[in-house]
Structure 1
Amino acid sequence: MFVDDTDEVRDPDVSAIAALGEPTRRRLYDYVARSADPVGRDEAASDLGLARQTAAFHLDRLADESLLDVVYERRSGRTGPGAGRPAKLYRRSARQIAVSLPGRRYELAGRLLARAVEESGTTGEPVRDVLHREARALGARIGADGAGEEVVGVLERYGFEPRREDGTVVLGNCPFHALAREHTQTVCGMNLHLLGGVLEGLRETGYTACLAPAEGRCCVRLEPVA
């Protein structure tokens, strides 16, 4: 089964990006990122012309935001008694951060599409059939994870900007906007099945997902079941 390990954009991502807005902190981050080996406070302070206390403060702030990892190593290469305490060093973390306004989820779409192509190549099943099935399965898991919530709240977290209009739920934003403009039939079909899966996972029987393309909004909307 396809597993979506795409992180949602949450406040910690915004906080991490804001942390890089401080010029000295950004210089230190870039310095560590360019280094092939973990960097110590003294080394960073010397190379960038900073006070050691200033370098230490900003490096620790970057570590608190998970932008840097902290490791401890003995720089002398000695081990055992008398080797001294390991030095506190910093290296760039593997964390990936992305914030977009309005919200976009291109990695989610990319994973679904890649999975569909790979499985189709193995089984011979049409790519579109696999894509629809995988999108529905992912949507069902998203809905199940939000069990007990209203569908509007779940879709808000995924960037759809839902709003109620005359009994329907209109989605003011498409998280796959650029892809949908260039590959409308493929991406809108994927989105339709994804949202159908969300309703299924939530056990929401009051709405059904329908294609209803309109300028300035998602191609899918949720219609009340008669």
Structure 2
Amino acid sequence: MRKLPWVRRMAAVASLGDEKRRQLFELVSASGVPVGRDDAALALGMARSTASFHLDRLVADGLLAVEFHKPAGKAGPGSGRPAKMYRTAESEVGASVPDRNYDLAGELMATAIEHSAAAGEPVRESLLAAASRKGRALAAESASLEEFLAEEGYHPEPDGKGGFILANCPFHRLADGHPEVVCAMNGAFLGGAAAGCGESEDRVAGNSVPGQCCARITAP
């Protein structure tokens, strides 16, 4: 599953800055079952309309999900409409400034270690293969390589030669401490992404400009 765009993830986290929404989110998160508007309003001493407004805002922000259930103990005709219930969303929402994607790095490294242990292949080779496959799979959903780069937080900017510089590195802290491993993983990921967008993997080249990603995208 693709992560939400950075702007939406920031908005979701900022949404919890409202005290009422934060209280409702904590109430639903701590409950072992979906929570209805009436129960939430009663538990927190809010008006039902206020609780309903903030619960639906949390749904819109991707922090809660909705289910519909018949009232307990009632079934069949005349039992009433299903009640709207709230539970925590299955997907996690995380945001950082600048935009980073350490979850992806962790996923790729865990996948590589598992494959290396099972197949007896070097971890580095397994990591590059996993990164390439992931890039190809994710980019297949994008309309263009530039769109993919923007969605993944690379902040592509035209270089004036038909290519792009990548102004942000989603793996910055890891790359700073382990450049040989992380930059190779990043290059394989971007190469796979280029292929997923129908572009040549050769468009991905190295970049040593301080403050930018370790890769750049050359002209077609």
Q: Common fold, TM-score beyond 0.5?
A: yes
2:110 corresponds to which of 84, 98, 114 = 114
Instruction: Tell me: CA distance 1:208–1:79, structure 2 relative to 1, closer, same or farther (3 Å).
Output: closer
**Alpha-carbon contact 1:206-1:224 (below 8 Å) kept:** no
Counterpart-to-counterpart distance in 1, 2:67 and 2:187: 44
Equivalent position of 1:221 in the other structure: 216
Q: In 2, are the aligned partners of 1:163 and 1:172 still within 8 Å (CA)? A: yes
- Is the 1:41–1:89 Cα contact (8 Å) retained in structure 2? yes
- 1:73, 1:88 within 8 Å by CA — same for their partners in 2? no
Select the residue among 164, 184, 187 that pairs with 1:189.
184
How big is the shift at 1:224? 4.6
Which consecutive residues of structure 1, in runs of 5 or more, have no partner in the other structure?
A: none
The structural deviation recorded for 1:185 is 0.8
Q: Distance in 2 between matches of 1:177 and 1:171?
A: 12
Extract unaligned runs of 5+ from structure 2. Answer: none
Q: More deviation in 213-222 or 15-24?
A: 15-24
**1:164 alignment counterpart:** 158
Distance 2:201 2:32 in 1: 56
Query: Within the alignment, does 1:180 sit opposite 2:175 as a pair?
Result: yes
2:155 touches 2:166 (CA, 8 Å); kept in 1?
A: yes
Report the equivalent of 2:32.
36
Identity of aligned residues (%): 40
Counterparts of residues 51-70 of structure 1 (less than 5 Å): 51-68=47-64, 69-70=66-67
Q: Secondary structure at the match of 1:145?
A: coil
Shift of 1:14: 4.1
Find 1:101's aligned residue among 97, 114, 123. Answer: 97
CA distance in 1, matches of 2:27, 2:100: 30
In structure 1, give the amino acid aligned to 2:88. R
TM-score normalised over the length of structure 2: 0.82
Q: SS in structure 2 opposite 1:16?
A: helix
Matches for 1:195-214 after TM superposition, within 5 Å = 195-205=190-200, 208-214=203-209
Contact 1:8-1:158 at 8 Å conserved across structures: no
Q: Indicate if the aligned counterparts of 1:9 and 1:98 stay in contact, CA closer than 8 A.
A: no
Q: Give 2:34's aligned amino acid.
A: P
Paired residue type of 2:93: I
Distance in 1 separating the partners of 2:194 and 2:87: 43
Q: Distance in 2 between matches of 1:152 and 1:172?
A: 13
- Given that 1:137 and 1:194 are in contact with CA atoms closer than 8 Å, whether structure 2 keeps it comes out as yes
**Which SS does the other structure have where 1:98 is aligned?**
coil
State the shift of 1:141 in Å: 3.2
Query: Contact 2:6/2:99 (CA < 8 Å) preserved in 1?
Result: no
Alpha-carbon distance, 1:62 to partner: 2.6
Structure 1 108/84 Cα, relative in aligned 2: closer, same or farther at 3 Å? same
TM-score normalized by structure 1? 0.80
Is the partner of 2:165 in helix, strand or coil? strand
The 3 A distance-change label for structure 1 pair 85 and 30 is same
CA shift, 1:188, in A, is 0.5
2:70 and 2:79 in contact (8 A); partners too: no
Name the SS of the counterpart of 1:94 in structure 2.
coil
